[in-house]
Amino acid sequence: MKIVKRILLGLLGLFALLLVIGLFLPSTWHVERSVTVAAPPEAIAPLIVDLRQWEQWAAWNNAMDPTMVTDYAGPPSGVGASMTWRGDEMGQGTMVITKVAPGRVEYDMSLEEQGTPAHGQFILEAAGGETTVTWIDEGDMGWFIPGRYFIPALESMLGEHFQIGLDRLRPLAEARASAAS
C-alpha cells in the first residue's frame, strides 16, 4: 500500500511540476515565411483572395488528405469569402478572409480540435519587377497549458507547410504575370 501511495504522490508531483512549467512557457506562436516572385502583386493577389485557388498551391489540400471535403461560402473572393473543411488528416476548420488592401490580405482561421483561433496575413512588397510574398500566422493558446508544450512543433510544421505553399504559389503567379504581358 505504501508503494502505491508513493507512486500516486510521485505522479501528482510530476503533474504539478509540468503544470507550473507550462505556466511559464510562451502561450503565443508566430510563423513567418517569404518567397520572391517574378510577378507584380496584381498577379499574385487573385491566387490568395480566392480561397478556391488555394487547392492549387497550399500544402493543405486533397493531396495531403484525400478524405478532405471543402465547402465555400460568401463571395467568391475577397472579404467575407470563407471555406470550411473536414478530413481524416486535416481535421475540421474554418478560414475567412477578413481584410484585403493593396499589398495585404488577412484571414482568421480556427481548427475545431485545437480550439484556438489564428490570425494570418500575406504581405506583398513589390520592388524592381519582383514581389516578396510574406505569409504570417499567429495565435495564442491562452490558458490551455498542454497546448503550450506543442508550440515549437506547431511553428515547425506550419513553417514547413507555408514554405511548400509559397514555393507552389511562385510558378502559378509568374505564369499569370507572363500571360498578362
Record the pTM.
0.84
pLDDT at 69: 92
Cell of 139: 495565435
Domain ranges of the chain: 28-180
Mention every residue, 6+ apart, whose C-beta is less than 8 A from residue 118. Answer: 108, 109, 110, 111, 137, 138, 139
Burial of 65 (0-12, 13-18, 19+ CB in 10 A): middle
pLDDT tens digits, 99-139: 999 999 999 998 776 667 889 999 999 998 899 999 999 98
CATH fold group of domain 28-180: Alpha-D-Glucose-1,6-Bisphosphate; Chain A, domain 4 (3.30.530)
pLDDT at 21: 62
pLDDT at 86: 92
pLDDT at 27: 78
What would you measure as the largest C-alpha separation in the chain, in angstroms? Answer: 81
* Residue spans of the chain under pLDDT 70: 16-25, 113-115
